[in-house]
Amino acid sequence: MTEEEQVVDLLSAMVKIPSVAAKEGQVADLIETFLAPELKAGLIKRERISYAPGRDNLVLTIGNPNAQRWLGVDGHMDVVDPGNVNKWQFPPFSAHVEDGKLYGRGATDMKSGLAAAVVAFKQAAHEKLDHGIQLMATVGEEVDNDGARQLSAAGYGDRLTGLLVAEPGNSNVDAAERGIIDYTLTAHGKAAHSSRPDLGANAIHGLFAFANAALTATAPLQAKEDPTLGHATHN
């Protein structure tokens, strides 16, 4: 079986698992089964880090354990909810193949990238490496990066000198990705009867004030243009 055929077979099996913020452990099981000969031979080291029942992150390593250089390879195992399945041309978890294309939820984002990374990782496990490679298959990326947050907090990224993320794109290898800062704002008001609104305070007015102030405060940041990443946005 060619490497391309291995990727398609592995991807097809992955897509058939409805891992919508759940069941990522089943995807991890598939990966481990695919890599079973290398795991049994000790060519690949394996860790399962539980996030929730049935939802395990999978961390695999190959190469020199004492290496100074480590390449991280990352892919998430969850997918977006398919929505109204009756609007799909083919059932979202059927992995239907037609005209050389595989259809299904997660076929692009990002089980295809993960499957390709796993097949390449399997091949690399048989090479003599002077560096290390750490493959991370994570849970919960589509909601709040739950798995990546968990692995980062546990120090799994500390030794990495580079990171390849197998997200879908334009067939190019992009050198960088913009970061993100999320925050939660709480505005306080005062309840009042609709007959005497003058005795209350509308919390929405505070949100309006903040939004205007934030636009002003972030304007200098948004005005900067990076040749690779473009400009920042505030949304």
Which residues have C-beta within 8 Å of that of residue 189, sequence separation ≥ 6? 200, 201, 202, 203, 204, 205, 206
9 classed as catalytic: no
The single residue of 56, 74, 141, 142 carrying the catalytic annotation is 141
Catalytic, out of 78, 130, 144, 167: 78
141 tagged catalytic: yes
153 alpha-carbon distance from chain centroid: 16
Q: 14 phi and psi, to 5 degrees? A: -65, -45
DSSP state of 136: E
- Kindly list the distances between the CA atom of residue 12 and the CA atoms of 68, 118, 136, 223, in Å, as whole numbers in the listed order: 36, 14, 20, 44
164 near 71, Cβ under 8 Å?
yes
CB within 8 A of 36, min separation 6: which ones? none
Pairing of strands 55-63, 70-76: unpaired
Catalytic residue positions?
78, 141
